[in-house]
Amino acid sequence: MSKRDEYRPGPAAGAEIQKDGEKWTLVLVRELRHAPEKVWTALTDPVSLREWAPFDADRSLASVGPVKLSTVGMPTPVISETEVTRAEAPRLLEYRWGDNDLRWQLEPLGDGTRLTLWHNIDRNFISMGAAGWHICLDVLAQFVAGDPVGRIVGGEAMKFDWPRLKTEYERQFGI
């Protein structure tokens, strides 16, 4: 049995919602055992993104400017012509993905990193987003640790307890 087959996400945790009228923002926090520089590379390098992210990028996200993000794991890829608006290595990364703003903050935490993601997302999809990012961030942590399980996104996430996570986040968020 491969590490990938053994992977199961833990309970829904480390997520909250910030509400500003109809604009809702999903906030996810993870503590990783690796330095911000290593985590930064995983967040910005196109080859690294293919290991964990729900999209591919046509260039590094480590500099401001246009970028194409293509969803993965969908019957038809959705390509977003978008822009990296802030790239302050290894602390802060901001870009749009479709109609959503994503902001990644990396703070040194001992020898590791506190990683915070803000994702403004339609309130009807916020628990789905939380479940999806939960799995992506687990896979990111494994990848950064040098123990990759391979990207788990789209329909394939169903095999890895995504429905359970979605339900748990709905309960947590009171949706």
Domain presence at residue 5: no
Stated pTM of the model: 0.95
CATH, residue 71 = 3.30.530.20
Q: Would residue 6 count as lying in a domain?
A: no
Decide if 9 is inside a domain: no
What is the rounded CA–CA span in Å between residue 61 and residue 132?
Answer: 21
- CA 122 to CA 73: how far, in whole Å? 20
Question: Which of 71-80, 92-101, 117-126 shows the lowest mean pLDDT across its residues?
Answer: 71-80
pLDDT of residue 41: 98
- Give the number of other Cβ atoms within 10 Å of residue 147's Cβ: 9
State the sign of the Cα–Cα–Cα–Cα dihedral 90, 94, 100, 106: positive
In a domain, 4, yes or no: no
On whether residue 93 sits in a domain, the answer given is yes
Asked whether residue 159 is assigned to any structural domain, the reply reads yes
User: What are the pLDDT digits (tens) for 91-106?
Assistant: 999 999 988 999 999 9
Q: What is the domain count for the chain?
A: 1
Range of the domain at 30: 14-173
pLDDT reported for residue 2: 77
Spatial CA neighbour of 91 closest among 102, 100, 104, 109: 104
Closest alpha carbon to 63 in 95, 39, 36 = 95
